[in-house]
Amino acid sequence: MAEKAPNLYDTYIIDGIHQAMTPAQLLQECTVEGALPPSAGSGTVADESVDIAPTPFDFHEEDIDAYADAVSRLPRQPFPLPFSAQLTRGRIAKALIDALWMGGHFRLGDLVIKADWRWNDGKIGNLAAFYASVEAAAEYIDALGLRLGEVRVSGSALCAPSFKASTTSEEEAPSEEEDSLIREIPFRTSHPRISRRRACPASIQEETTDWLLYIPFDTCDFRLGGSRLAAATGAHRGTAPEIGDADYFIDSFEVVRELVEDGVVKAGATVLEGGLLHALRGMAQVHGTDVSIGDIRKAYGDELPIRVLFGEVPGVIIQIADIDYDYVDAELLLQDIAYFPLGHPVPGRASVTVLPGDTGGIAGILESLLNTLEGED
């Protein structure tokens, strides 16, 4: 018997405002029929949103390595409730990107998401954050054109939404007419399959002429609210990345997935929790790299290095061969996907060094390409 879901079917009054839909109703439009858990009864929830008082920005560029060490040592942090909506969308994006690296043959539209909200409803602000999380998930998943294949809601000592993506291959096979229609739908295949084995390694490979590229999967700015860096240092940030550009995510996913299936990507990693530098360190298991973030800072209006390195914007780092650079450049720019060359592998040194300032040839590559495009029809 399916576990009943507390608070999913309740009516909510948040900050004195009556919410028109219950969490179950919010999810219904993007959920496979029968995937919602049964009702545990319904009632009325009155709660208030909990805000944080931001602390001054006191991070220093010379302490980047120390911050990265602190982020790496941090155990899995409690879900930052003031940023419930933003972080929920981020975790959905991460679940989809994690699936991107798997073997098999599938596209974004072939994926279905499993959602699990484990929630403590005993404190002021917790259920307001739960409602915000469910609302953000429903809106983002619907905008991505995807569906929830399973929804679970249960009580817990902590608050933590989690998501996992897989293909819809276990669903009923389509009829011939439906199969023909599916072939015409963008971002779907007729017979998707996904493997538990990765299609490419997660660690940097040793070829020194290869390129490491960073590709953000959203157009939002880098911010530190709700980040692992903020948790590790005890800082309270007032804003988190406003993740939510579903169209850009779709285009980014499809281009990179095609590169993965074609064997162009020699190594790849998901960027989200901990930020760009945390992901790079995770890739530096045997071979490391020296990276420049000058391109990223310029593209985002001379953004602060700490935000670029630790802001939790969903994206990927991929390693490609030098011979494939022009091809990858063309594929990404064809879809108006921004990418940033970071540097090259450094064999035998399992560490990441962030180079100070701009570094000659790498800095300005993207800017020159974009300037070229501006003159085209």
Please give the domain boundaries of the chain with CATH numbers for all domains: 1-47+102-197 (no CATH), 199-377 (3.90.650.10)
Give the residue among 139, 158, 157 at the shortest CA–CA distance from 148: 139
Whether pLDDT at 339 is above 60? yes
Mean pLDDT over 196-208 rounds to: 95
| Span 316-329, pLDDT tens digits | 999 999 999 999 99
pLDDT on residue 193: 85
CB neighbourhood size of 175 (10 A): 9
Element (H, E) at 131: helix 126-143
The gap from C-alpha 50 to its chain's centroid, in whole angstroms, comes to 24
| Span 46-83, pLDDT tens digits | 999 988 777 777 888 999 999 999 999 998 777 899 99
pLDDT on residue 171: 38
The DSSP secondary-structure symbol of 5 reads: B
CB 268 within 8 A of CB 200: yes
Q: Return left, alpha or beta for 247; rule: phi > 0 is left, psi -120 to 50 is alpha, else beta.
A: alpha
| Span 218-272, pLDDT tens digits | 999 999 999 999 999 988 878 899 999 999 999 999 999 999 999 999 999 999 9
pLDDT on residue 4: 55
Phi, psi of 45 (to 5 degrees): -110, 125
- Alpha-carbon span 306 to 224, nearest angstrom: 9
CB 243 within 8 A of CB 314: yes
Element (H, E) at 53: none
Mean pLDDT over 162-190 rounds to: 57
Whether pLDDT at 41 is above 90? no
**Exposure string over 242-267, b if 16+ CB within 10 A, otherwise e:** bbbbbebbbbbbbbbbebbbeebbbb
| Span 110-169, pLDDT tens digits | 999 999 999 998 899 999 999 999 999 999 999 999 999 999 999 888 899 999 999 865
Token pair in block for residue 247? 């169209």
